[in-house]
Chains A and B, each alone.
Chain A
Amino acid sequence: MACNKGKYHDELIANAAYIGTPGKGILAADESTGTIGKRLASINVENVEGNRRALRELLFCTPGALQYLSGVILFEETLYQKTASGKPFVDVLKEGGVLPGIKVDKGTVVLTGTDGETTTQGLDGLGERCAKYYAAGARFAKWRAVLKIGPTEPSELAIHENAYGLARYAMICQENGLVPIVEPEILVDGPHDIEKCAYVSERVLAACYKALNDHHVLLEGTLLKPNMVTPGSEAKKVSPEVVAEYTLRTLQRTVPAAVPAIVFLSGGQSEEEATLNLNAMNKLKGKKPWSLSFSFGRALQQSTLKAWSGKEENVGKARGAFLVRCKANSEATLGSYKGDAKLGEGASESLHVKDYKY
């Protein structure tokens, strides 16, 4: 019905809507080789392909977990990996009713003339790569733009550059059948209060949707992955209800109803915090034409990792921890989480790393 109806129009809309199914969310398992190395190092596991594969198999083959997931974001290496018994991961996911997704950005670089602000790379050859990923079974993509709050940040330049990068990426994805997750992460680092975070988030999101509109992106075939609106990491904490109010207000002011789902990043919140905040948002009464769900990396995997510690004999225990977090977040998307998830070791541990390089 749009003037330029692309080849994948209906499929994009259907897949984006599916990801927003109530009771489901996204597992972000797309850590680059370098980043996953840090995770493995934290549990004294060597960063080799076999171990990376083993970790992902541990997660994806947890019995009963996939029902709580509508999508899993993968790193390129993982898209082509298999279980120990030879079954491709994409098949495991598809059979479990989970859409495979793929991280397509190539990391951030500093913007000259700014005080450490960045832009995200990855547009060169993106079209061909997306087509290749689609052929391998991916149905959605992810690109992470990063902004920070400071005395003079985010600058107009950084906002514009990141918004337009996201829009170009989104357009190219849609041309190649992948639903783009639009992720303008505003880092939690800093002493700023929640009002400041809200103000900056509004500016950034307004710029993002302006850019997406200028590029004729089909909004019904996209997802948004924003930060929740919270005080900075060095400021006093607030309750989940306050986070929910500010976040909802911000989204109501910026995100058109055509976007089917908003899948929050956890950005350094502990597993339990992230779940409680998401739950509060879904309990809050107010205009919510999009579904509110999760796209968590650390906040789904932390206690699982600790329980596993790289040991075969711990796989059962680790899977148990993973299942607990999946179920808790599933309930949070329905506003029915009672806060009674069996807290694994590390579930309440903050996952914030200052000036986190992803």
Chain B
Amino acid sequence: MASVSFAKLNAPSSQWIGQQSFSQRQGSSARFPARRVSVPIRAGSYSEELVQTAKTVASPGHGILAIDESNATCGKRLASIGLDNTEPNRQAYRQLLLTTPGLGEYISGAILFEETLYQSTTDGKKFVDCLREQKIMPGIKVDKGLVPLPGSNNESWCQGLDGLASRSAEYYKQGARFAKWRTVVSIPCGPSALAVKEAAWGLARYAAISQDNGLVPIVEPEILLDGDHPIERSLEVAEKVWSEVFFYLAQNNVLFEGVLLKPSMVTPGAEHKEKASPETIAKYTLTMLRRRVPPAVPGIMFLSGGQSEVEATLNLNAMNQSPNPWHVSFSYARALQNTVLKTWQGHPENVEAAQKALLVRAKANSLAQLGKYSAEGESEEAKKGMFVQGYTY
């Protein structure tokens, strides 16, 4: 209901006030009469489409398949199964994933790397068309990676704002409808107020530019798993980070009904002596979300960040045991692809089995989104943790 009236309410610039000349007013503020500010229009011409895209991605029983590994990172994946990092190999791997029959039953969006957005199958069919046929929204990674943040405590910041508007417009033309930008926050390094502010501000700028060009921004400040801190500390940092993020998103006039979040779950650090159960992780994570995420945001798609495939599914399931004001789902890369890769091994004869493995994981997470998942029958491989200390993505 909100989006119907919303379109009506978001009338274009007829609301401009501020066409009058400066008034001559008494009082100390009259010395420098400021320009009257009109009401900023959020998201401009794409608002309805953004709201619709976000809603589609955030539909029940669905989540995101993240396959936006940069060429270097994809190279690591291929190397782990003895393959060279060549374009044909990357293309073959993504083709395996994106042409999996029935994928659209569980996956509502796929995040691509730039190279992949412009690739086709060996039969010449564009990947974006393969996705659209399955009713899967194509997304695109738009950040340009992390670099050291000067003046911080060995922390990073995320680049990519230069020329982002024109790149986004090009991606939209090619068929992308949502974008993703990943910045990180490190608890062992503080995090410093500077690093948090930079992460939040960068995300806000990226989000505003994305929306201006028709792309729903996925907002991802990943709080890295590294560290030996307890879960309470993760909660504290997450609350601080998200408070800054939402404040700057608002200042940049970002349309909340047209964004998606990609947070880390609130867990103890990877090196903390005690592991937390899915129920504890769910409790802390939902507390954080309830304290920081306005209900206008349609979907929260968690990153897996090094959890095992089964862990990531169990945790998501625990979060969906009662209704939430936003769609709570997944945007997994490693936690959807690990077994697939190992099954494929680069051999064409294994493609079908590998695709089946993808469907198994996708379905499990789909059930978890509905709160109906059970871990019975999961393979040992799926339970293997994938945490890599100091992981550079």
Contacts and interface: CB of A to CB of B under 8 A. Distances in A.
Contacts of B289: 257
Contact of A249 (B17, B25, B247, B296): B296
A87 interface: no
A252 B29 contact: no
Interface string B277-297: 000000110010111111110
B294 A256 contact: yes
B2 to A, nearest CB: 5
B284 A1 contact: yes
A219 B29 contact: no
Interface string A183-220: 00000000011011001001100110110011000011
A174 to B, nearest CB: 14
A207 B250 CA distance: 9
Interface in B16-46: 17-18, 23, 25, 27-29, 33-34, 36-37, 39-40
B296 A253 contact: yes
Contacts of A77: none
B23 A151 contact: yes
Nearest to A286: B2
Given A115-B27, A213-B243, A252 B9 contact: no
B1 interface: yes
B235 interface: yes
Contacts, number: 106
A246 interface: yes
Contacts of A251: 295
A289 B325 contact: yes
Contacts of A85: none
Contact of B25 (A112, A115, A284): A115
B201 to A, nearest CB: 14
B274 interface: no
Interface string B140-181: 000000000000000000000000000000000000000000
Interface string B289-333: 111111110000000000000000000000000000110000000
Interface in B23-78: 23, 25, 27-29, 33-34, 36-37, 39-40
Contacts of A116: 27
A254 B15 CA distance: 22
B250 A206 contact: yes
Most buried by A among B17, B232, B290, B296: B296
Given A3-B232, A258-B290, A196 B2 contact: no
Contacts of A113: 28-29
A195 B287 contact: no
Contact of B294 (A2, A213, A219, A252): A252
A289 B286 CA distance: 13
A311 interface: no
B295 A289 contact: yes
Contacts of A206: 246-247, 250-251
Contacts of A289: 290, 295, 325
Contact of B36 (A151, A246, A288): A151
Interface residues of A, number: 43
A245 B39 CA distance: 18
B287 A196 contact: no
B236 interface: yes
A285 interface: yes
A227 B130 CA distance: 50
A142 B123 CA distance: 69
Place the interface of chain B in its size category. Answer: 35 or more
Nearest to A255: B294
A206 to B, nearest CB: 4
B228 interface: no
A202 B250 contact: yes
B243 A286 contact: no
Contacts of A254: 250, 294
A248 interface: yes
Interface in A88-135: 112-116
A234 to B, nearest CB: 14
Contacts of B206: none
Contacts of B256: 252-253
B392 interface: no
Contacts of A288: 295
Contacts of B293: 256-257
A357 interface: no
Given A196-B39, A199-B39, A3 B27 contact: no
Nearest to A150: B36
B359 to A, nearest CB: 32
A118 to B, nearest CB: 14
A287 B325 contact: yes
Given A115-B25, A254-B294, A213 B239 contact: yes
B29 A114 contact: yes
Nearest to B284: A1
A17 B180 CA distance: 38
Contacts of B240: 213
Nearest to A113: B28
Contacts of A3: 232-233, 235-236
B393 interface: no
B9 A246 contact: yes
Interface in B236-276: 236, 239-240, 243, 246-247, 250-251, 256-257
A202 B29 CA distance: 25
A346 B159 CA distance: 62
Contact of B287 (A1, A115, A214, A284): A1
Contacts of B291: 213, 219-220, 256, 258
Interface string A214-257: 10000110000000000000000000000001101101111111
A246 to B, nearest CB: 7
Contact of B1 (A199, A209, A213, A284): A284
B246 A152 contact: no
Contacts of A192: 17
A202 B39 CA distance: 12
Contacts of A196: 15, 17, 39
12 contacts: A1-B283, A3-B233, A152-B33, A202-B250, A210-B246, A213-B239, A213-B240, A213-B243, A253-B257, A256-B292, A258-B291, A285-B1
Given A206-B251, A213-B292, A287-B325, 9 more contacts: A1-B235, A1-B287, A195-B9, A206-B246, A207-B247, A220-B291, A249-B9, A256-B290, A289-B325
Interface of B: 1-2, 5-6, 9, 15, 17-18, 23, 25, 27-29, 33-34, 36-37, 39-40, 232-233, 235-236, 239-240, 243, 246-247, 250-251, 256-257, 283-284, 287, 289-296, 325-326
Query: What are the nearest 3 A-B pairs in CB distance?
Result: A213-B243, A252-B296, A206-B250
